[in-house]
Amino acid sequence: MPFSGKAQKAIITEIKEMHPLKKVINIFPVIQIPGNKKVSFLINQKLREEALYLDSTGFKKSIFEVAWFRDDNNNPYWEYDDFEYEVFSNTARFLNLSILFSGGKHGQSQTLYFLFDTKTGEDILFNRILTKQGQEWLAAKMVALQKKRIQQFLPELKDSIQMAGTIHGTDSSYKEDFQREYEMYERCLTSSLPSYITDPDALDYFEIYLKDNFLNVKGCACAGNWHQMRFDDLSDATLKLPVKEIERFLTEKGRRLIFGDGRISIN
């Protein structure tokens, strides 16, 4: 079934600039919604505010200048030095993309996810697309997935505990770290749903995007992991669900955004 009306997909071009110190090509998207300059401005401004720290006054020489160069108590240093992006879905109703930036003084990396309504320019949280029941259902599936991964990993971790300290030259602190990790995962297996599930912005804890008619959810669903990430060898769990599986949990806004007036692909 074709898209209704005259709405068109976003046109995406790129700004490419080389970092003056790291000599790495940085890439940032520029979004154009055909026939709608206002929405195009809103989307681009949101991306620049969130990822590049730019306000409405814009920039002097480079779109990356604020994100590249930071000042900490009169101690200037290079912040992020590598920007790239990925488009997951570009339809006549919404644009779903991410921006990844990394590097700098502390070697950090961060990925920001955006879901824009291309009729209004609004950046929409997935909490507004899924009903409360749907959010709880999705979070529960993430918890179940993570617990399954933990059960598969515990025997290997137990062997690591037994081996640590028995090998010549192995620091005893390794055994303590393995033991803490094991205890953390045991708590995950016996706990109920994490308390953050009751948070009205619960899905903000996950990285969520729509691609090829699938809802992809990535994140740590294990209670207790948030303050013990250095012990978490399993890291994030990734869940992939057909869009039709979440249709019953969509809010009116979510149904309109994803499906429009009919049942069509989100490619």
- Per-residue pLDDT of 72-81, as tens digits, reads 665 656 678 8
Report residue 129 as tokens: 């697309």
| Closest by CA position to 116, among listed 83, 91, 85 | 91
236, pLDDT greater than 80: no
CA–chain centroid gap for 186, Å, is 27
- The number of C-alpha atoms within 13 Å of 204 and in the hemisphere containing its C-beta is 9
Query: Which of 104 and 31 is assigned the larger pLDDT?
Result: 31
Q: Where do the structural domains in the chain lie, given as residue ranges? A: 11-124, 132-251
What is d(CA 210, CA 12) in angstroms, rounded to the nearest whole number?
18
pLDDT of residue 69: 81
Map tokens 């010549």 to a residue: 168
Q: Which secondary structure element, helix H or strand E, spans residue 68, and what is its range?
A: helix 65-68
Class of domain 11-124: alpha beta
- Residue 1 — pLDDT band, cuts 50, 70, 90? very low
pLDDT average, residue stretch 82-97: 96
- Residue 2 — pLDDT band, cuts 50, 70, 90? very low
pLDDT average, residue stretch 160-168: 70
Considering only CA atoms, give the Rg of the chain: 22
- Residue 222 — pLDDT band, cuts 50, 70, 90? low
pLDDT of residue 179: 85
- Residue 242 — pLDDT band, cuts 50, 70, 90? very high
Give tens-digit pLDDT for 256-266.
999 885 554 45
Q: Which secondary structure element, helix H or strand E, spans residue 252, and what is its range?
A: helix 252-259
- Residue 223 — pLDDT band, cuts 50, 70, 90? very low
CA–CA distances in Å: residue 155 to residues 32, 151, 152, 234: 52, 8, 7, 13
Give the chain's mean pLDDT.
81
Q: 142-180 as b/e, with b when 16 or more CB fall inside 10 Å?
A: bbeebbebbeeeeeebeebbeebeeeeeeeeeebebbbe
Map tokens 């013990």 to a residue: 228
- The number of C-alpha atoms within 13 Å of 228 and in the hemisphere containing its C-beta is 19
pLDDT of residue 166: 64
Cβ contact 138:203 at 8 Å = yes
pLDDT average, residue stretch 117-131: 92
pLDDT average, residue stretch 2-17: 75
6, pLDDT greater than 70: no
pLDDT of residue 226: 47
The CB density around residue 119, as the number of other CB atoms within 10 Å, is: 16
23, pLDDT greater than 70: yes
CA–CA distances in Å: residue 38 to residues 1, 4, 162: 29, 21, 63
